[in-house]
Amino acid sequence: MKVNEIFFSIQGESSSIGLPTVFVRFTGCNLRCTYCDTKYSYYEGEPDTPEGIMEKIRSYGVKRVCLTGGEPLIQPREEMQRLLDLLAAEDYEVSIETDGSIDISKICLHDRQRFILDMKVPSSGMSDRMDFANLRRIVPERDEIKFVVGNREDYEWSKRLIANYDLDPAKGYRLIFSPIFGGLTYRELVEWVLEDRLDARFQVQLHKIVWDPQLRGV
């Protein structure tokens, strides 16, 4: 496995927003989104093992971990599964932030582990690279589906996807809408969500409000 950085911060996104979390950022990504804010993770990093990563995670003394990137699911599958097995054995809560382009069924999750499926919208330039079958593979009431939108087209695209795949929150689907940082305003997106009575969680990237948006390791 190749790791870009491991650090301790608050979770800035997802249903765990605001909670102390250990982040493991893996090196490499198979996509090139226009608004990517972690381009430094495309290539920078050092090899490590699941056991080595676990040792670093334990050092922080917090039982909540986010596996991110880059794209964590391009790491060797056997090693990623080994890391998840080790985390489960020690009862860590784990979220895996994946970009929506890779088959999530190749990974077996344990209790207290979930996917955050970040479906790339048209303005990302990567929406045609999505593995839409993942929307059938996610587990309602466990996994989360995130849409980071930059304009009205992105928002309408996301709504159509929700309707076409019947991602009804009444059935347990957990939907998150977030504006691209520095682009679409918070108010615009909130007003669209309220106008449509969309049963989705609005969120901001909290860590970019607490710290300098360009700061790494937070």
Every domain of the chain and the residues it spans: 2-210
| Contact between 80 and 1 (Cβ < 8 Å) | yes
Q: Say whether pLDDT at 213 is over 80.
A: no
Q: Say whether pLDDT at 215 is over 80.
A: no
- DSSP line for 26-74: ES--S---TT-S-GGGTT--EE--HHHHHHHHHTT--SEEEEESS-GGG
Q: How far apart are CA 206 and CA 181, in angstroms?
A: 10
Grade residue 209 by pLDDT with cuts at 50, 70 and 90: confident
**pTM listed for this prediction:** 0.93
Q: Could you read off the pLDDT of 182-195 as tens digits, one per residue? A: 788 999 999 999 99
Q: Residues of the chain with pLDDT > 70: what percent?
A: 100
DSSP state of 170: G
Q: How far apart are CA 110 and CA 168, in angstroms?
A: 24
Q: Say whether pLDDT at 199 is over 80.
A: yes
β-pairing verdict for 46-47 and 2-10: antiparallel
Q: Say whether pLDDT at 212 is over 80.
A: no
Q: How far apart are CA 38 and CA 81, in angstroms?
A: 24
Q: Could you read off the pLDDT of 56-81 as tens digits, one per residue? A: 999 999 999 999 999 999 999 999 99
CATH architecture classification, 2-210: Alpha-Beta Barrel (3.20)
Q: How far apart are CA 126 and CA 174, in angstroms?
A: 22
Grade residue 216 by pLDDT with cuts at 50, 70 and 90: confident
pLDDT of residue 183: 80
Q: Could you read off the pLDDT of 118-169 as tens digits, one per residue? A: 999 999 999 999 999 999 999 999 999 999 999 999 999 999 999 999 999 9
